[in-house]
Amino acid sequence: MFPTEFIIGLLAASIAGGAVGLERETSNKSAGLRTNMLVSVGSSVFVMISAYLMEGIQTGDPSRVMGQIVTGIGFLGAGVILHRGTNVKGLTTAATIWCSAALGCLAGFGLYWELAATTLLIIIINTLLRKTDILFNNKKNNKSDDNNKRFE
């Protein structure tokens, strides 16, 4: 692997993670710009190291590194999730961190078109579907208010 390939992979991962993190930052979420960038860059580095170590060697499985990234990021995401009574907060943030790791893996393998498409889709899901969440939450709150009035 040439140093320019490594740098391009790092830059692509940081831009993709930064784009996702910027959306989370503007939504005042706990895992924002730096977190998503670092997760994406770190995943990219691990994938590039794995690919570099496999160059010229016919044995080995670089996909094992990705499997460990998925597991490790799962633990990081679990730390973001808060459980308060019947309410669970942070699931979307945890899922976004997991997706940022996937972005890093795409960048590490040099799959830049796939990286761009996935980044865009993650941002669309987090922004446009937020309105849907608000709609459903309002309906849930209205139902629980109706139920509480019945027992008064």
**What's the pLDDT at 14?**
97
Cα separation, 47 vs 62, in Å, equals 7
CA dihedral 82→66→26→29, nearest 10 degrees, is 10
pLDDT for position 149: 57
pLDDT at site 82: 82
* Tens of pLDDT, residues 37-67: 999 999 999 999 888 888 776 666 778 888 8
Rounded to 10 degrees, what is the CA torsion of 28, 30, 34, 39?
Answer: -130
Per-residue tens of pLDDT for the chain, all 152 residues? 688 999 999 999 999 999 999 999 998 888 889 999 999 999 999 999 888 888 776 666 778 888 889 888 988 888 888 877 777 888 888 999 999 999 999 999 999 999 999 999 999 999 988 878 778 777 766 766 555 555 55
Instruction: Kindly list the domain boundaries of the chain, sorted by start residue.
Output: 3-150
Instruction: Supply the pLDDT for residue 75.
Output: 85
Using only the alpha carbons of the chain, give its radius of gyration: 19
**What does the pLDDT read at residue 2?**
82
In this prediction, residue 87 carries a pLDDT of 79
